[in-house]
Amino acid sequence: MEKLRIEASSCSPLIDFDPAAGLLRIDGESYPENSFDFYAPVFSWLEEYLKDPAPAVVLDIGLSYLNTSSIKCMIDVLEMLDGAHQKGRTVSVRWHYDSDNDRALDMAEEFAEDVSLPFEILAH
């Protein structure tokens, strides 16, 4: 399976998914004009990848800002990974946030509450 890489822009995050390493990275700010269009290739890639993922999969997130529609898309990504976790796959999340941003911590904690997979929240 091919890597998925979408370069960051002023309003959309870097998407860097490496299937062999099992590392799925999303980094930056997420407020594209149409979040659902932006994340559509992410959903398609992830759906295909989760049919036969690496032995361990880590979603590494460093999002400093998400608009409302991006939050919905992130919930969908987390639910896809949580479903794989519930089927016995080794899946975890590492959410990085700026320690000066309490709202970012609150958002990460809310996401963590919605899934059963291991979810690490890391300040930087």
> Exposed (0-12), middle (13-18) or buried (19+): which is 99, by Cβ within 10 Å?
exposed
Structure confidence at residue 10 (pLDDT) = 95
Structure confidence at residue 73 (pLDDT) = 97
119-123 and 90-97 beta bridge pairing = parallel
Residue with tokens 């594209």: 32
Structure confidence at residue 91 (pLDDT) = 96
Q: Rg (Cα) of the chain, in Å, rounded?
A: 13
Structure confidence at residue 43 (pLDDT) = 96
Q: Which mean pLDDT values do the consecutive 10-residue runs of the chain (124 residues) have? A: 96 96 95 96 94 90 94 96 94 95 91 96 94
Structure confidence at residue 52 (pLDDT) = 87
Count of domains forming the chain: 1
Rounded distance between C-alpha atoms, residue 122 and residue 59, angstroms: 13
| Number of residues that make up the chain | 124
Residue 49's domain comprises 4-123
Q: Would you tell me how many other CB atoms lie within 10 Å of the CB of residue 67?
A: 15
Structure confidence at residue 88 (pLDDT) = 93
Question: What CATH number did the domain enclosing 69 receive?
Answer: 3.30.750.24
Contacts of 54 (CB under 8 A, 6+ apart): 19, 20, 21, 22
